Amino acid sequence: MKLSELAELTSATIENGSPDLEITSAAGLDIAASGDVTFLANPKYTSQIETTKASAIFLNEGVKISRGDLAVLRAKDAYLAYTRALRTFFPVSPVVPGVHPSAVIDPTANVSERAEIGANVVLGKNAVVENGVKIYPNATIYDNARIGEGSIIHSGVSIRENCEVGRNCIVQNNSTIGSDGFGYAKDEEKRWLKIPQVGRVVLEDDVEIGANTAIDCASVGESRIKRGTKIDNLVQIGHSCTVDEDALICAQTGLAGTSVIGKRVILAGQVGIAGHLKVGDDAVLTAKSATSHDVEPGKVISGIPGFDNREWLRSTAAFQRLGDFTRRVRELENKVAGIIKAV
């Protein structure tokens, strides 16, 4: 692809370099080879520009570099432009329609002729698999589950009974969609009595679920992950939660039951959200923080329990001197006692 074509495709402008320069792939600064386009988004990596072997680079407005031999594509958002370049050079591998002879498909299941069903996949009663779906080997689709058009289900995944996967979703390996919620009532003998978990999970369109993640069904009703939300590896979503559109939930974060996560919320890694609460649109919880209260829209929250991120930064800075602090207060107490005695 010519540099000029790439610029057009990514809405960038050529600031340096020949429009006819041939670009063949895309890669990060450190591993890019000749012919690759690369990018700079995190200033931490600026020094790598000196040594990169890339032939062209996407740069945000205002960023200057000293390498005159590197073609420059000026973009409004270098990271986004680079992503579009990558998507062009590495298209998703095509679906090869057909059902592997070792797959076990219930006669009542409804599988599109344009779907690809891998080896040893098992589809339950009345399961529905739409056009362009790809199910990798050793995945299991329970009774009455539905996989929407263009979705990809990886090996080892279980989609439980009655659950629904929307269009163009991806579920990475060994994840569980629709496991029983963790609900028990204590009986008269202080033993746990299982609460039936007969609801379901709905993943709307364009949702991605990472590897080894578990999303519980509702006891009655549904857990719902709305359009465009992306969930990372090893995440726990409890029963009856709703995660609104375009949220980002990073690895090892956990949601207890019946919480509502707003649009475009970002939950960083290892965050904990207690049950029965609401995190407002565009809120951010930084890594390892937790909340047992509602979070207002747009707030950035840190700590356990979480509070305003700026206050938390001040508190954690003070915390690191807390041992010393104890000594200072004791000294003050002694001095004041001495003064009171003297006066």
Cα distances (angstroms) measured from residue 20 to each of 7, 8, 15, 153, 336? 11, 13, 13, 40, 79
For 212: left if phi > 0, alpha if psi spans -120 to 50, otherwise beta; the answer is left
Tell how far CA 198 is from the center of its chain.
27
Name the minimum Å distance from CB 90 to its own copies.
4
CB closer to its own copies, 16 vs 173: 173
d(CA 283, CA 264): 8
Name the minimum Å distance from CB 62 to its own copies.
19
d(CA 170, CA 154): 8
CB closer to its own copies, 16 vs 227: 227
Considering 100, 154, 239, 276, which one is annotated as catalytic?
239
CB closer to its own copies, 16 vs 296: 296
Name the minimum Å distance from CB 285 to its own copies.
12
CB closer to its own copies, 18 vs 87: 87
DSSP-derived secondary structure for 294-343: -B-TT-EEETTTTEEHHHHHHHHHHHTTHHHHHHHHHHHHHHHHHHHHH-
Q: Is 239 a catalytic residue?
A: yes
What is the length of the chain? 343
For 225: left if phi > 0, alpha if psi spans -120 to 50, otherwise beta; the answer is beta
CB closer to its own copies, 16 vs 269: 269
Is 155 within 8 Å of 139 (Cβ atoms)? yes
d(CA 45, CA 225): 35
- On the 0-12 / 13-18 / 19+ scale of CB atoms within 10 A, 191 is exposed
Name the minimum Å distance from CB 178 to its own copies.
9
Name the minimum Å distance from CB 68 to its own copies.
25
**Active-site annotation, residues:** 239
